[in-house]
Amino acid sequence: MIKKSVLNASWDGKFAEEILEDPQAPKGLLKCNQCGTCTANCPAARFTSYNPARLVRDVLAGAREKVLSSADIWQCFYCYTCHANCPRGNSPTELVRILRLKALAQGHAKEEVARFLAFGECFAEFGIGGMPSDIVESHANEFGHRWVKMRLHIDDLREVLGLQAMGLPENAQKQLKSLLHHTGFMERLQRLSSDSEICQSRGMR
Amino acid sequence: MKDVPTSGLYLFKSCLVSTEYPGVESSLRFIFDRLGIDYISDPRQSCCSGLGYYFDVFDHLSTVAVAARNLGLAEELGYRNIVTLCATCYAINKNSLHSLHENPELASQVSGILDKIGLSYPDKMDKNNIFHEVDILAALKNKIASMVEIDFSGLRIASHHACHYTKVFREDALTDPNRPYLIDSIAKSTGAVPVEYAEKTMTCGAGFRQRHCNKDLSLSLTLEKLRSLKTAGTEVLLHMCPNCQIQFDRYQPVIERLTGEQFGIYHLQIPQLIALSMGADPYTVVGIQTHSVPIEPLLKRFGIKVKA
């Protein structure tokens, strides 16, 4: 039987060009010759169906919808092993970052970031990122009493170690928050949080 | 080989060091104080936003603007050599400067934003001003060797070189991402003996979102590394990034419970080992009380006084 090729899916001949318009796009994207060095060294490819060489091929083939709706782009570890070893100056991991943001902008996969929005909110309030309460709770279960006690007394511990208090002086914090308004980050948080569901955690209690 | 400065250092605070392993920062300060290194800590510096960036919550402009604000503060103080305690802080700051230099449109947008809130743009900074603690420690290793009080001879150590140091800007790392040896070479100044292991170059498994959304996947990688470390006879795994340290120190006991396998490996970030060897107190400097895998049995072996 003849197998369905990726090109049978709806395709967009301008997809790679559109990605290259992003200044963050890897310079060697179009130079990929499918040598497979990225996949051979990729920890996600070792354990999941994610395959960076195939992802690059799909992008170059214009398989926009397939790529943007794919669960595989969310399996990358951002470990940059592909990036460090690509002989053509391509970077599948930086491509993944662009694809994930594109997917989010088109309303795909909001649930993939929903639980991490708290990091951004905490950053804007205190100048230091924080974990959402469901993750803290799960850490408390996993890491146990010793960790919970440590986190409860972190300010005292820091004092014992002769370290500055965490958190920014009031004026610096105001400036930082204002900066995040100007970059559109506060609006972005709003946009990402609207009608998103809580991450359906895979393999997590 | 890049020039590594040992003065005018802006100690760049890390969110994960601050909240999980604050002893890493106090250990580094202890070493710098002992060696007479000129550095500064700035309460106005914010976290780099890197976790948020790699959780895909932060957009590029916001992360670059946050970096520019911090780097502008450092420049204004005249402490232009950024020293990070975390590999992601290193990569994020470097990448942000890279973007600002490559993309004049982005640079003028960020400069405009900083101007509006009364801050200065880091004009004189480039990506070569960004260092990781291992760059500095490597430059100081002979001095360190001459100040060792506790000799760790015979201690079998292995290293985990953080991906965001070795792999993001490969050409600027002082070691090959495929055969990393920088941490090992620093640790040798304490007498410790480096061992090699099969999975040395593989990522720790944190993978930012993966630790939280794909826990089985995340821990599968860590388990592979732990097995390979055990096979090599590793006693201490040395880190250079708090996120990797969490993945091993916090999750090793979890993995031991889940698999029934015992690893019994200690986890320290490299400044902690160096500080201990230079006679630092385990609790008031090195902060071992924040670790999940207790360090006391190791320290007792080398005659360091610990609480019962």
Count how many Cα atoms sit within 13 Å of the Cα of residue B27 in the half-sphere of its side chain: 28
pLDDT at residue number A9: 57
Q: Which carries the bigger pLDDT value, residue A205 or residue A51?
A: A51
pLDDT at residue number B2: 79
Stretch 116-135 of chain B: residues touching chain A, C-beta under 8 Å = 116-119
Is residue A200 pLDDT above 60, yes or no?
no
pLDDT at residue number A199: 38
Answer yes or no: is B4 within a domain.
no
Stretch 214-273 of chain B: residues touching chain A, C-beta under 8 Å = 214-217, 220-221, 250-251, 253-254
Is residue A116 pLDDT above 50, yes or no?
yes
Of all residues in chain A, the one with the smallest CA distance to B285 is: A161
pLDDT at residue number A197: 42
B15 to A113: CB separation less than 8 angstroms, yes or no = no
* Final residue belonging to a domain, choices B133, B157, B178: B133
H-only helix segments in A61-144 = 64-68, 81-85, 92-105, 110-114, 117-126, 133-143
Is residue B54 pLDDT above 70, yes or no?
yes
How many residue pairs from chains A and B have C-beta atoms closer than 8 A? 207
pLDDT at residue number A198: 40
Same domain, B61 and B209: no
What architecture does CATH give domain A10-108? Orthogonal Bundle (1.10)
Query: Which of B163, B144, B128, B136 has the alpha carbon at shortest distance from B241?
Result: B163
Q: Is B22 on the interface with A (CB under 8 A)?
A: yes
pLDDT at residue number B135: 98
Of all residues in chain B, the one with the smallest CA distance to A181 is: B62
Is residue A4 pLDDT above 70, yes or no?
no
Query: Cα A173 from chain centroid?
Result: 25
Split at pLDDT 50, 70, 90, the class of B306 is very high
pLDDT at residue number A6: 52
CA of B211 to nearest chain A CA: how many angstroms apart?
9
Q: Where are the domains of chain A?
A: 10-108, 113-193
The tally of domains found in chain B comes to 2
Same domain, B200 and B270: yes
Each residue of A63-100: pLDDT tens digit?
A: 999 999 999 999 999 999 999 999 999 999 999 999 99
* Nearest by CB: B25 against A24, A163, A192: A163
For chain A, what is the mean pLDDT?
90
Answer yes or no: is B44 within a domain.
yes
Query: Which of B106, B90, B119 has the alpha carbon at shortest distance from B10?
Result: B90
Same domain, B24 and B70: yes
The C-alpha atoms of residue A179 and residue B63 are separated, in whole angstroms, by 11
pLDDT at residue number A12: 86
Same domain, B265 and B295: yes
CA angle A26/A181/A95 to nearest 5° reads 15
Burial of residue A59 (CB within 10 Å: 0-12, 13-18, 19+) is buried
Same domain, B113 and B157: no
H or E element that contains B53 = helix B50-54
pLDDT at residue number A201: 34
CA distances from B165 to A25, A116, B160, B169 (A): 20, 24, 11, 7
> Hey, how many other C-beta atoms are within 10 angstroms of the C-beta on B284?
14
Same domain, B115 and B33: yes
Same domain, B153 and B276: yes
Angle at which helix A170-182 crosses helix B60-77, to 10 degrees, equals 140
Mean pLDDT computed over B140-161: 97
Same domain, B213 and B237: yes
For chain B, what is the mean pLDDT?
97
Is residue A203 pLDDT above 70, yes or no?
no
* Nearest by CB: A129 against B43, B51, B220: B51
Query: Cα B74 from chain centroid?
Result: 20
CA angle A28/A184/B164 to nearest 5° reads 40
Is residue A195 pLDDT above 60, yes or no?
no
* Final residue belonging to a domain, choices B85, B103, B133: B133
Same domain, B124 and B145: no
* Nearest by CB: A179 against B65, B214, B253: B65
Q: What is the 8-class DSSP label of residue B289?
A: G
Cβ-Cβ contacts under 8 Å for A24 (sequence gap 6 or more): A94, A97, A98, B60, B99
Angle at which helix A185-193 crosses helix A117-126, to 10 degrees, equals 150
Each residue of B236-270: pLDDT tens digit?
A: 999 999 999 999 999 999 999 999 999 999 999 99
Tokens representing residue B230 in the block: 């055990």
Each residue of B188-217: pLDDT tens digit?
A: 999 999 999 999 999 999 999 999 999 999
Coil vs helix vs strand at B159? strand
Backbone angles phi, psi at B68, to 5 degrees: -60, -40
Of all residues in chain B, the one with the smallest CA distance to A201 is: B213
A160 to B254: CB separation less than 8 angstroms, yes or no = no
Mean pLDDT computed over B100-114: 97
Cβ-Cβ contacts under 8 Å for A181 (sequence gap 6 or more): none
* B20: CATH: 1.20.1050.140
Same domain, B99 and B184: no
The C-alpha atoms of residue B73 and residue B117 are separated, in whole angstroms, by 13
CA of A71 to nearest chain B CA: how many angstroms apart?
12
The answer to whether residues A88 and A28 touch, using CB atoms and an 8 Å cutoff, is yes
Mean pLDDT computed over B152-179: 98
Query: Cα B164 from chain centroid?
Result: 10
Is residue A1 pLDDT above 70, yes or no?
no
H-only helix segments in chain A = 15-20, 37-41, 43-47, 52-60, 64-68, 81-85, 92-105, 110-114, 117-126, 133-143, 145-152, 154-160, 170-182, 185-193
Is residue A7 pLDDT above 70, yes or no?
no
Same domain, B17 and B163: no
Same domain, B91 and B196: no
* Final residue belonging to a domain, choices B92, B113, B133: B133
Domain that holds residue B280: 141-301
Rg of chain B over Cα atoms, rounded to whole angstroms, equals 19
* Nearest by CB: B22 against A127, A157, A169: A157
Each residue of A119-172: pLDDT tens digit?
A: 999 999 999 988 889 999 999 999 999 999 999 999 999 999 999 999 899 999
Contact list in A for residue B25 (CB cut-off 8 A) is: 161, 163
pLDDT at residue number A66: 94
Mean pLDDT computed over A42-46: 98
CA angle B275/B86/B145 to nearest 5° reads 25
The C-alpha atoms of residue A56 and residue A65 are separated, in whole angstroms, by 14
H or E element that contains A205 = none
